[in-house]
Structure 1
Amino acid sequence: MQDHDYYSDDYIRDILLSVKTIALTGASPKEVRPSYTVMQFLLARGYHVIPVNPGQVGRTILGQKVYAKLAEIPERIDMVDVFRNSSAVAGVVEEALALRPLPRVIWTQLGVWDETAARKAERAGIEVVMNRCPAIEIPRLGFRS
């Protein structure tokens, strides 16, 4: 099991270089929200980002169709990026565990943490990163810029 207090640069780099399709839970259409700017950043770096927000179904965010939940996404998801509060992580992990195939990674944003949910995902073979932001890690590690 991964130590979630420390991630090696190689661990983070391997994840961010290998994933292509990211489901971003908690995506917001508001330009001032961090989920919007991170989604914009990831799209600009060539990732396919699928916004997930039940309150925005039927709309698009940054030109991408919004889904209510992970199970509605009609394609394979490599990574689930959790832009919700820590209390929502367990439910997102449950949704992810019901997908076939399973996503490779569950990534929670800065300040978002649930060790129990992380361990459950890891036991199912999913890699987990918590309390990090890909829009910070990518430039820090110097790729896809």
Structure 2
Amino acid sequence: MTNYGDEATVRSILTAKGDTWAVVGLSTNTARAAYGVAQVLQRHGKRIVPVHPKAETVLGEPGYRSLADIPFPVDVVDVFVNSELAGEVADQAVAVGAKAVWFQLGVVDEEAYARTTGAGVEMVMDRCPAIEFPRLG
């Protein structure tokens, strides 16, 4: 597979694209990867915004059912849904004006990548910020 998100893009999203990260698929289930990654994002000074059908408060932040329900700007949309649903989330991220989209490990949709980057929105796919932060130093 092609590398979707070069080092400059990874660095840009983690350090320069903004501090408000909508985490799609984040719930109160502490066993899920989304929960641990959200904790890492918070430790790196990011505000997390849980997006989940249950709209639960997670890690002290109120949740929303969809990206469109968030009443303030979102900088990065971090996607923890399966690849079949991820393209729709990427399209929603572009629609709400996100600066970047991040598909987690195992989440791949090449057509969504082409649409998102074609719309001028940076994107990383099949990577994890919890792994990339320490690697960047």
Alignment partners' CA distance in 2, 1:93 and 1:33: 21
Alignment partners' CA distance in 2, 1:93 and 1:10: 20
Q: Which residue of 1 aligns with 2:37?
A: 38
Specify which of 9, 14, 17 is matched with residue 16 of structure 1. Answer: 14
**Equivalent position SS for 2:45:** coil
Alignment partners' CA distance in 2, 1:63 and 1:114: 31
Tell me the CA shift for residue 45 of structure 1: 1.3
Alignment partners' CA distance in 1, 2:106 and 2:68: 25
Q: For the Cα contact (< 8 Å) 1:107–1:129, is it kept in 2? A: yes
1:39-61 deviations in Å (ceiling 9; x for gaps): 0111111001101001x22x311
**Equivalent position SS for 1:65:** coil
Tell me the CA shift for residue 34 of structure 1: 0.5
Alignment partners' CA distance in 2, 1:47 and 1:136: 15
Q: Which residue of 2 aligns with 1:132?
A: 127
Q: Which has the larger radius of gyration?
A: 1
Tell me the CA shift for residue 126 of structure 1: 0.5
Question: How large is the Cα RMSD of the aligned pairs?
Answer: 1.5
Off by >6 Å, runs of 4+ in structure 1: none
Can you give the 5+ residue segments of structure 1 that lack an aligned partner in the other structure?
none
TM-score (norm 1): 0.88
1:54-101 deviations in Å (ceiling 9; x for gaps): 1x22x31111101000011111111100011100111102212321xx
Q: Which residue of 2 aligns with 1:62?
A: 59
Change (3 A) 1:14 1:94: closer
Q: For the Cα contact (< 8 Å) 2:9–2:122, is it kept in 1? A: no
Specify which of 113, 116, 125 is matched with residue 118 of structure 1. Answer: 113
Can you give the 5+ residue segments of structure 2 that lack an aligned partner in the other structure?
none
Q: For the Cα contact (< 8 Å) 1:4–1:129, is it kept in 2? A: no
